[in-house]
Structure 1
Amino acid sequence: MAAVHPDIRALMQKVREAGNPPFEALGPVAARKVHAERALALQSERDSLPVVQDLAADGVRVRLYRATPPEAGTAQPCLLFLHGGGWVLGSLETHDWVCRRLARLSGACVLAVDYRLAPEHPYPAAVEDCLTALRWLVAQAERLGIDATRIAVGGDSAGANLAAVLALMGRDGTAPASTCQLLFYPTVDLAITEESYARTTENMLLGASTMRWFIEQYVPRPEQRTEWQASPLRAASLAGLPVSFVLTAGHDPLRDEGRRYAARLEAEGVAVTALHLSGMTHGFLTMDRAAGPAAGVLDMAAKLLRETW
């Protein structure tokens, strides 16, 4: 197994010293509190932006970020961002730092979605909310000063799963089409067939047992886990998808499925940038104070957005 990055070794030592039990031992409500406190404690100061606005997208709470106010008669591209957290954890607040940074680096808008969480709202509730937000974004684009022809989708972990589903729907014409998808350590196969589940130790932030618990909360009916709307890696074809960025981490149970998704994208004719950081672990992008590479990854992803737009 690949060596662990020094930043991650130090982070995991602090986590062990804190003595927090795994999320599945806490239950959803308590786990959300611990997850939020950990994320906010490990993030640097948030970028100051001229526009950060909470809105309602046909009943779904969203937050709009702008690096620059729109000028009259112009329209900005926009990234629809979907937060991670195993469909059980996470919020607009836990990923506020990431959204601000992506807005600043890309010079565009970011619209973050506060979709419903499991187990209170199991699959496909999160998909439905994200689709509602995307359709609202396109419908309100002119009013918001956004270019409806330059919309990207993206997210981390469970949010990357949802972004991949929206991109597939956009290709098939059941959702607005996207020009780019940013998939940060995505979960794309809920059937758990990858060897990385067996090889990944439970000493990392996301272990195999915790990931299995997330999946059980999100899709309690096993027969639904192979549907492509839950497991986009199982889509019959990935051809025709937009420009893609796929990040994977070496010490992550989702490593193998993410790399396989990137390989399929390339094999099926999609322009894809696949970045694998062998020493990193799951979730490091929301912990930039503890994981030095986080800032550079976001800069690379934002550059891809700028080039695509």
Structure 2
Amino acid sequence: MELNEGAQRVLAMQREIGGAPFETLTVHAARTAFNAGNPLWQPEAPEVGTSYDLTAPGPHGPIPIRFYRGRDAAVEKPLPALVYFHGGGWVVGGLDSHDVVCRALANAAGAIVISVGYRLAPEHKFPAGIDDAVAAMRFVFDQAGSLGIDPARIAVGGDSAGGNIATVVALTARNGDVPPVNYQILFYPNTDAAQKHTSYRTKGEGYGLTASTMRWYRDHYIRDATDIDDWRVSPLRVASLVGVASTYIVTAAYDPLCDEGMEYANRLRAEGVLVTHRHLQDQIHGFVSMGRYIPEAKSTIEDAATAWKAANSQA
């Protein structure tokens, strides 16, 4: 299928703006470029019922998190909550870069979203971000009462590298090492750090995110090549997915991460996990954060929220 018109416009604008590939920059310069470019593709931030920042205790210091209650969400009873991990290759991004997405999810679901500002590489290599994610999950569960959250309906979610972290937290919960996770929302997740799937070759250049940038991200994140085989880096390599929380997963055909996301969805389903897999034949990596020009960002968020609400109604 031909590339989506909105995605074509975003890619054309990126070419017009120019800018060096991240892998040719210092980490500081890459973060500066990301923070400058990211708002260009996003719509205006929607109003929510409540939003405020707080911190969770972590193994290596406080973890910044941001609380959102949806605009029409009830205030008189505990609500479902989605603990969200932002994308950015484990190297860039943060609470502000995914503020619009989290607001939209909170409004669409009529629920609470907790965005987690986990530590970034290369200053904090694997498993630092995972450690922060696990600590944030425990904090949300322990403080559910004061946050207005139903502890039986806590989900995880994320996009790209954040989707990777969400999968790891869900697996950790399945193993009994963190409080239960009742659902997961994964937007084009990274599930195999080997980066050898066919889509890295066929869609690894010319569609925004490139295979070479993905290598740069990964190599900043891992300590050495042996980490690639660790399921907490490459969830596809975990021995079993049986018992993992029901999953909503999005893949995009014009994305280097497409094939590993599809394989993860297929494996979840084969191992008995309830999966809703939405594959967009005409989209690029990161499109959920590009709602200013790509209307499918909004509809995808709403679809994910609908699936999550349906799961919550059965919890």
After TM superposition, the score normalised by the length of structure 1 is 0.97
Distance across 1 between alignment mates of 2:122 and 2:266:
32
Distance across 2 between alignment mates of 1:46 and 1:110:
15
What does residue 175 of structure 1 align with? 178
What does residue 13 of structure 1 align with? 12
Deviation at 1:204, TM superposition (A): 1.7
Counterpart code for 2:267 = R
SS of 2:297's partner is: helix
1:103 aligned onto 2:102 = no
CA contact (8 A) 2:73 2:107 kept: no
SS of 2:229's partner is: coil
What does residue 301 of structure 1 align with? 304
What does residue 27 of structure 1 align with? 26
Deviation at 1:12, TM superposition (A): 1.1
Unaligned runs of at least 5 residues, structure 2: none
Q: CA RMSD in A?
A: 1.1
What does residue 210 of structure 1 align with? 213
What does residue 225 of structure 1 align with? 228
What does residue 66 of structure 1 align with? 69
Q: CA 1:34/1:271 → structure 2, altered by over 3 Å: closer, same or farther?
A: same
Counterpart code for 1:212 = R
1:199 aligned onto 2:210 = no
1:139 aligned onto 2:138 = no
Deviation at 1:125, TM superposition (A): 0.5
CA contact (8 A) 2:7 2:283 kept: yes
Distance across 2 between alignment mates of 1:190 and 1:157:
12
SS of 1:16's partner is: helix
Total equivalences in the alignment: 307
Deviation at 1:69, TM superposition (A): 6.6
Q: CA 1:275/1:70 → structure 2, altered by over 3 Å: closer, same or farther?
A: closer
Counterpart code for 1:80 = V
CA contact (8 A) 1:78 1:152 kept: yes
Deviations 1:155-174 (A, max 9, x none): 00000000000000000101
Counterpart code for 1:7 = G
Distance across 1 between alignment mates of 2:260 and 2:113:
27
CA contact (8 A) 1:51 1:69 kept: no
My pick for the range that moved more, 211-220 or 154-163, is 211-220
Runs of 4 or more, structure 1, over 6 Å off, are none
CA contact (8 A) 2:105 2:301 kept: yes
Deviations 1:202-231 (A, max 9, x none): 212111000011000001310011100111
1:243 aligned onto 2:258 = no
What does residue 47 of structure 1 align with? 46
Task: Give the 5 Å matches for 1:106-185.
Answer: 106-185=109-188
After TM superposition, the score normalised by the length of structure 2 is 0.95
Distance across 1 between alignment mates of 2:204 and 2:23:
16
SS of 1:149's partner is: strand
What does residue 276 of structure 2 align with? 273
Deviation at 1:71, TM superposition (A): 3.5
CA contact (8 A) 2:74 2:110 kept: no
SS of 1:80's partner is: strand
Deviation at 1:240, TM superposition (A): 0.7
Counterpart code for 1:125 = A
CA contact (8 A) 1:50 1:66 kept: yes
